[in-house]
Structure 1
Amino acid sequence: MASEEEQGGCRTRQRFEELCQKLNMDEGAKCEAWASYESISRKYTLEGEDLHWLACALYVACRKAIPSVGRGTVEGNCVSLTKILRSSELSLIEFFNKMQKWADMADLSQEFRERTEKLERNFTVSAVIFKKCEPIFRDLFKDPQEEQPPRQHRGRKQR
């Protein structure tokens, strides 16, 4: 009979495979992400949802430079962060928190860390702007039906 830890590992692997299938992940990034996850999970205790840590591993694997058919290289395999987060049910804020820890555990390059930090700063700025502009937007683009008072129904004959 398999131990509880082995069953948990099989369940995690199955969920990872399902996630990769949803994302239409290429085999190279998939294998790299799983190997990275396994290596780090042996060295560190990963608190929280395994799938969230796997999302971090996938993000890193997806952002590696890939030689392209044309000139130069393409950054990543075109799997968007939004799609990774939606498929793994991970919020952007949680992702940034976990990604900082993942970068330390995986000893990611300074350049990769800076790009992730820039992404986080851009999100923060956008969130602040959205928070300020949302009430203005709602005032400008009100539903015309909301502005009018409800009509009073009158009978056919007026007396």
Structure 2
Amino acid sequence: MLVPVGSARAIEFVAEAAGDWALHCHMTHHLMNQMGHAFPNMIGVKPGGLDAKVRALLPGYMTMGQTGMAGMGEMGMPVPPNSIPMVGRQGKHDFITMGGMFTVLKVRARLDGYKDPGWYDNPPGTLAEAAGAESLRRDGIDVDAPAPVEPGSPA
């Protein structure tokens, strides 16, 4: 859904799938807050002394980091008082590495008021987990077989 600058939309829906649902977006008008800047995407770039040089013109400047927003929670980047920080937050299973236009919609069968219900308790067997050799064998996967060779790669 596209929502023009300076406007809002009310969305009505039936919340029948219990859980914690991530909602995030990137829209052009977000360039008006701290999600936008005049510099190219720096993901993967090692900025070296860039921050110090840019701070001569923009005091307090910080490069977004080599892996995107993943490290921003630890950076302590100050934000304007009228902004929501893009630093992410601790989630139930790990650190949520998004901020800005991000929220978690918490759907439960019964909610008593507006108090945070806490993190969703996933039913047993519904979360992904690392597969060990025993579970792979149980699923018919031969863990002792040599890995397939990709076409064009050295044997």
User: What is the TM-score of this pair, normalised by structure 2?
Assistant: 0.26
Q: Which has the higher strand share?
A: 2
Larger C-alpha radius of gyration, 1 or 2?
1
Q: Which structure is higher in RCO with an 8 Å CA cutoff and minimum separation 6?
A: 2
